[in-house]
C-alpha cells in the first residue's frame, strides 16, 4: 500500500453548506456571519447542513446522529453527490465532488459508494437475486461476474437459497438483508446507510447490527451510518458526529461523548445511555500509583496499606502484572515475622483488558480487596479500576444512586 493511501482520509468534508430554496447563496452568507437556522428569516429557505467539516477514515464506521430534521439525510446525500452542495467541498479520495459534472459524479458514485435505505428500496417484481445484482447490471458487469458476486453477497448475509423469491415473500429483516447484499455485491469501498435498521423490530435490529459489525470486520468497508437512535450509534460507531439544527456539534468516540460532551446539548442527549455498555476499563481506570513487588517487605507493605486505607494492592514483577496481596494476609504475615510479601501474592488475582466493557467489571469490583488490574496484551499493568471509580463513572450520568449501588 502506498504511503498516501494509509494517510489520506477516504472522505473529507470542508465547510459544507446545503441550503434548500431559491435564495440559497444569500442564506449561506448569513449563516457564515453566525446566524442560526431559525434566524435566517428567508421565506421558503431551509438550511439543512451548516458549516460541516469532518473526515471519514478508511475502514471506520462513522455514524451521523441527531434528531429528526437535524440534517443527517441531507448530509449523506451530499457525500455521494445525490445533492449538490451549496457551498464548501466534499472530497472522496482527494477527488472533489463539488467541481465535477453530474455525469462524473454519477460515475464516481457507482464505482465507489453503495447506499442502503430504511425502507429497503427493493424492486417488488424482481427476484432477490435480481435485486442484489442490480448495481452490477447497471454497471454492465459480465453476467458470470454478476452471478458470482450475487451468490457471495447473499451468502454473506445468510440468504443463500432465497435467490428466486420476491421481496414480498420475505420478512422485514430479510428484506433489509437483501438491501445490504445489494450494496455488498456492488463491491464498493464505501457503504452509506440511511436509518437502515430503523424499520426493524428491536430483536431483528440488534441481529442486523451484529451482522454489520461482523461484516465490517471481515470486509473492512468504510461505512457512514445514519441513525437517530443513540444506542445504535454507540454500538456501531467508531466515531459519532452529533448534529443539531444543521450543525455538527461534536465528532467523537462514544466514550468521549459520554466523558467529554462538547456542550450541554450533547450532555443531555447522552444522559440516558447505559454508560456501563459504552464505557470501557480504559476510561474508568486510574494509574496504579501504589503497587508492590514480591520483594516488598511485609512491614513496608502493611505500613503503606494502613496509611492509605487500602484493603488490597496490586503486585508487579519485572514490569508485568503478577497478582495482588490483601491486607489481612499481610497483617497475619507480620505477626509471624515473615520478611517479604513474595509468598503472599495471589497470582490468580483478576485482570482485564482495557477494552472490557464496564458492565463486565462489576462482579469483580464487588468482591476482591484489591482494585481490578487492567493489563495490555503483554501483561504490563496499565492501571487499576476501583469500586469508587466504577461508581463515579456510572453516576456522572443521571442514574439513580440506589440503582447504581444495586449493580456494583
Ligand atoms: N428537498 C428538500 N427541500 C426542502 N427542504 C428539505 C429538503 N430535504 C430536506 N429538507 C429540510 O432540511 C432539513 C433537514 O432534513 P433532513 O431530512 O436532512 O434531516 P434528518 O436529520 O435526516 O431528519 P429525518 O431523520 O427526519 O430524515 C429539514 O428541515 C427538512 O425539512
pLDDT digits over 197-242, tens only? 888 888 888 988 998 999 898 889 999 999 999 989 999 999 999 9
Q: Which residues pair with 324 in a beta bridge?
A: 314, 346
User: pTM of the entire structure?
Assistant: 0.80
Rounded (5°) CA angle 298-299-305: 85
Q: Is the CB of 387 under 6 A from ligand 1?
A: no
Can you tell me the mean pLDDT for 166-192? 89
Position 400 confidence tier, pLDDT thresholds 50, 70, 90? very low
CB of 71 closer than 6 A to ligand 1?
A: yes
Question: pLDDT band at residue 404, thresholds of 50, 70 and 90?
Answer: very low
CA distance 378 to 320: 8
Which pLDDT score, from 0 to 100, does residue 408 have?
A: 44
Domains of the chain, first to last? 3-274 (3.40.50.300), 282-407 (3.10.580.10)
> What does the pLDDT look like over 19-38, one tens digit per residue?
998 888 888 888 898 888 88
Binding site membership of 362 for ligand 1 (Cβ less than 6 Å): no
pLDDT given at position 322: 95
Contact between residue 181 and residue 157 where contact means Cβ atoms under 8 Å apart: yes
From 18, 73, 86, mutation site for ligand 1 pocket: most ligand atoms within 8 A of C-beta: 73
- Are 378 and 389 spatial neighbours (Cβ–Cβ below 8 Å)? no
Question: Does any ligand 1 atom lie closer than 6 A to the CB of residue 397?
Answer: no
**Ligand 1 neighbour 73 (Cβ under 6 A):** yes
Specify the residue with its C-alpha closest to ligand 1, atom 24: 68
Q: What are the residues facing 47 on neighbouring strands?
A: 19
pLDDT above 70 for 403:
no
Counting every residue written for the chain, the total comes to: 408
ipTM strictly over 0.90? yes
| For ligand 1, mutation pick of 31, 48, 80, 198 (most atoms within 8 Å of CB) | 48
**Best mutation site among 47, 74, 115, 197 for ligand 1 pocket (most ligand atoms within 8 Å of CB):** 74
CA of 389 to the centre of ligand 1 (A): 42
In Å, how far are 2, 177, 235, 241 from 55, measured between CA atoms? 20, 28, 20, 10
pLDDT at residue 381 greater than cutoff 90: yes
Task: Find the radius of gyration of the CA atoms of the chain.
Answer: 27
pLDDT in the model for residue 367: 66
C-alpha 157/C-alpha 211 separation (Å) is 8
Whether the pLDDT of residue 3 is over 70: the answer is no
Q: Which atom of ligand 1 is nearest to the CA of 228?
A: 25
Q: In the predicted model, what is the mean pLDDT of residues 37-56?
A: 89
The grid coordinates of residue 332 equal 497475619
**C-beta of 135 in contact with ligand 1 (< 6 A):** no
Distance 277 CA to ligand 1 centre (A): 31
What distance in Å separates the CA atoms of residue 221 and residue 9, rounded to the nearest whole number?
Answer: 13
pLDDT at residue 399 tops 70: no
Angle at 342 between CA 340 and CA 347, to 5 degrees: 150
Report pLDDT for 393.
79
CB 364 within 8 Å of CB 350: yes
CA distance 184 to 221: 9
How confident is the model over 77-106, as a mean pLDDT? 90
**In contact, 293 and 316? CB cutoff 8 Å:** yes
Q: Is the CB of 119 under 6 A from ligand 1?
A: no
Assign 347 a pLDDT band (cuts: 50, 70, 90).
Answer: very high
Residues 51/27, Cβ–Cβ less than 8 Å: no
In angstroms, the CA 4 to CA 406 distance is 52
Q: Tell me, what's the pLDDT at 365?
A: 58
Cα of 259 to ligand 1 centre, how many Å? 30
C-beta separation of 49 from 16 below 8 A: yes
Centre of ligand 1 to C-alpha 75, Å, is 9
For residue 102, what pLDDT is reported?
86
Tell me what the mean pLDDT of segment 331-360 comes to: 92
| CB of residue 198 inside a 6 A radius of ligand 1 | no
For the segment 257-265, the average pLDDT, to the nearest whole number, is: 92
- pLDDT given at position 190: 94
Instruction: Report the separation in Å between the CA atom of 25 and the middle of ligand 1, taken as the mean of its atom positions.
Output: 18
Q: Would you state the pLDDT for residue 200? A: 82
Residue 383 has pLDDT above 60, yes or no: yes
Output the CA 23–ligand 1 centroid distance in Å.
17
How far apart are the CA of 197 and the centre of ligand 1, in A? 19
Amino acid at each position: 500500500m502506498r504511503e498516501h493511501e494509509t494517510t489520506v482520509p477516504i472522505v473529507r468534508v470542508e465547510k459544507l453548506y446545503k441550503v434548500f430554496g431559491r435564495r440559497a447563496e444569500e442564506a449561506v452568507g448569513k449563516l457564515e456571519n453566525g446566524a442560526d437556522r431559525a434566524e435566517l428569516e428567508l421565506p421558503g429557505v431551509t438550511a439543512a447542513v451548516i458549516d460541516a467539516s469532518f473526515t471519514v477514515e478508511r475502514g471506520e464506521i462513522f455514524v451521523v446522529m441527531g434528531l429528526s430534521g437535524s440534517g443527517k439525510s441531507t448530509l449523506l446525500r451530499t457525500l455521494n453527490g445525490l445533492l449538490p452542495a451549496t457551498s464548501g467541498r466534499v472530497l472522496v479520495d482527494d477527488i472533489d465532488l463539488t467541481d465535477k459534472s453530474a455525469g462524473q459524479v454519477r460515475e464516481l458514485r457507482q464505482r465507489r459508494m453503495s447506499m442502503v435505505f430504511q425502507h429497503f428500496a427493493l424492486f417488488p417484481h424482481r427476484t432477490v437475486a435480481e435485486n442484489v445484482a442490480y448495481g452490477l447490471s447497471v454497471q454492465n458487469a459480465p453476467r458470470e461476474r454478476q452471478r458470482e458476486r450475487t451468490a457471495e453477497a447473499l451468502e454473506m448475509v445468510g440468504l443463500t437459497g432465497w435467490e428466486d423469491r420476491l421481496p414480498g415473500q420475505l420478512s422485514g429483516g430479510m428484506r433489509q438483508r437483501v438491501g445490504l447484499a445489494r450494496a455488498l455485491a456492488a463491491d464498493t469501498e464505501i457503504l452509506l446507510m440511511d436509518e437502515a435498521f430503523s424499520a426493524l423490530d428491536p430483536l431483528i435490529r440488534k441481529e442486523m447490527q451484529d451482522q454489520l459489525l461482523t461484516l465490517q470486520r471481515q470486509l473492512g468497508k468504510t461505512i457512514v451510518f445514519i441513525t437517530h437512535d443513540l444506542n445504535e450509534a454507540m454500538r456501531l460507531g467508531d466515531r459519532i458526529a452529533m448534529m443539531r439544527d444543521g450543525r455538527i456539534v461534536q465528532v467523537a468516540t462514544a466514550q468521549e461523548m459520554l466523558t467529554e460532551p462538547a456542550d450541554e446539548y450533547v450532555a443531555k442527549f447522552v444522559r440516558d445511555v447505559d454508560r456501563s455498555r459504552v464505557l470501557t476499563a480504559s476510561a474508568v481506570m486510574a494509574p496504579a500509583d501504589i503497587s508492590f513487588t514480591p520483594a516488598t517487605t511485609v512491614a513496608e507493605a502493611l505500613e503503606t496499606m494502613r496509611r492509605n486505607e487500602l484493603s488490597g494492592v496490586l503486585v508487579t514483577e519485572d514490569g508485568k502484572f503478577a497478582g495482588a496481596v490483601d491486607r489481612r494476609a499481610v497483617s497475619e504475615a507480620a505477626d509471624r515475622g515473615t520478611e517479604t510479601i513474595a509468598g503472599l501474592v495471589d497470582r490468580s488475582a483478576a485482570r482485564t483488558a482495557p477494552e472490557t466493557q464496564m458492565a463486565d467489571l462489576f462482579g469483580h469490583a464487588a468482591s476482591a480487596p484489591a482494585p481490578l488490574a487492567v493489563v495490555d496484551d503483554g501483561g504490563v499493568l496499565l492501571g487499576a479500576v476501583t469500586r469508587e471509580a466504577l461508581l463515579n463513572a456510572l453516576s456522572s450520568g443521571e442514574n439513580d444512586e440506589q440503582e447504581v449501588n444495586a449493580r456494583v
